[in-house]
Amino acid sequence: MIRVVIVDDDPMVRTGLRLILGGEPDLDLAGEAGDGRQAMAVIRGLRPDVVLMDLRMPEQDGLVTTELLLSRPAPPRVLVLTTFDADDMVLRALRAGAHGFLLKDTPPAKMIEAVRAVARGEPVLSPSVARQVIAAATGRHEPGRELAARELAALTDREREVAVEVAKGASNAEIARTLSVSVATVKANITRIFAKLGTDNRVHVAMKVRDAGLL
């Protein structure tokens, strides 16, 4: 079972998410919260696998809450909920370690699969939205380009190829087909990429690739 906590200040949004996710046999809606401060207490007690996190909330917004959560040992995976696909807070949330984000009007089936993907450790990288957000982030931070290039210089040629495919939003199976290697080889390369870049997050790898200008 994937334990899920919903964090959103709009009761209607929380109700909608419960209706969408509650009927799935592998998803356990463990709890919910209406703001960031309440969320910290709820998450501490329930220890969910995935947190659906709204960004704009009173008391303590989702960005601060995400940063606090992900600074702790063994944190949950955070899937950001947003109304805007180019919100600066989304960019900051991704850099803080969020594993992906969803627009609130995402179709139910895709929302369900996004929760499952994040629970598996895969990012939610929408071809039409995530690339815009990542590209926007790289365009505003030129020093980040130089830093990313130095970090990616530690990768082998094969690891760099895999990293580029990750940045395109490809799954492990898709990368294996593109590079004509086994899925096991792809997984091994991703493990080494994570170690060299000091992350366990495919979104961070994608952002480094974009920062370095490899796409």
Half-sphere exposure of 207 (CA within 13 A, CB side): 29
pLDDT score for 84: 63
Residue 133 one-letter amino acid: V
pLDDT score for 142: 47
pLDDT score for 6: 96
Quote the pTM value: 0.64
Digit-by-digit pLDDT tens for the chain (215 residues) are 999 999 999 999 999 999 999 889 999 999 999 999 999 999 998 999 999 999 888 888 888 898 888 888 889 999 988 776 555 666 677 777 888 888 888 889 989 999 998 998 887 765 555 555 555 555 544 445 677 788 889 999 999 999 999 888 888 899 999 999 999 999 999 999 999 988 877 877 888 888 888 87
Domain 2-124: give its CATH code: 3.40.50.2300
pLDDT score for 141: 45
The Cα-based distances of 141 to 66, 96, 113, 129, 151 in angstroms read 22, 15, 32, 19, 16
CATH architecture assigned to 141-211: Orthogonal Bundle (1.10)
For residue 128, the 8-state DSSP code is T
pLDDT score for 77: 93
**E-only strand ranges, the chain:** 2-7, 27-33, 50-54, 77-82, 100-103
CB 24 within 8 A of CB 13: no
Report domain extents, the chain: 2-124, 141-211
